[in-house]
Amino acid sequence: MDAHKLVRMANEIATFFESDPDPAAVSDGIAGHIRRFWDPRMRRALLLHIDEHAGEGCRPAVLAAIAANRKSLTPPAA
C-alpha cells in the first residue's frame, strides 16, 4: 500500500468532516468512514505510517481521530 496515497485519502475524508463545529463529531466521522470503507490492509498501512513516521503529511484531525479510535481501527491480526 502506498502510504502517501492513504494519507491523501485520509486528509480528504478529514476535509469533509472538518466542516462540523464539534471536534468529537469530526473525529468520529473520520474514524467511522475509515472503519467502514477501508480494507483492513489499508488501515494497517495507515497505522504503520503514523507509528513509523509520526503521521507525516496527515492533517491534525486525522491524527486526532486515529488516536481517539485506534483500538476500533486496528484490524484483527491476520
Q: How many whole angstroms separate alpha carbon 59 and alpha carbon 4?
A: 13
Our CA angle for 44, 54, 15, nearest 5°, is 75
Condensed to tens digits (0 to 9), the pLDDT of residues 16-52 reads: 999 999 999 999 999 999 999 999 999 999 999 999 9
Q: Which pTM does this prediction carry?
A: 0.94
Chain-centroid distance, C-alpha 26: 11
Contact between residue 33 and residue 12 where contact means Cβ atoms under 8 Å apart: no
Model confidence at 1, in pLDDT bands (50, 70, 90)?
confident
Q: What is the mean pLDDT of residues 42-69?
A: 97
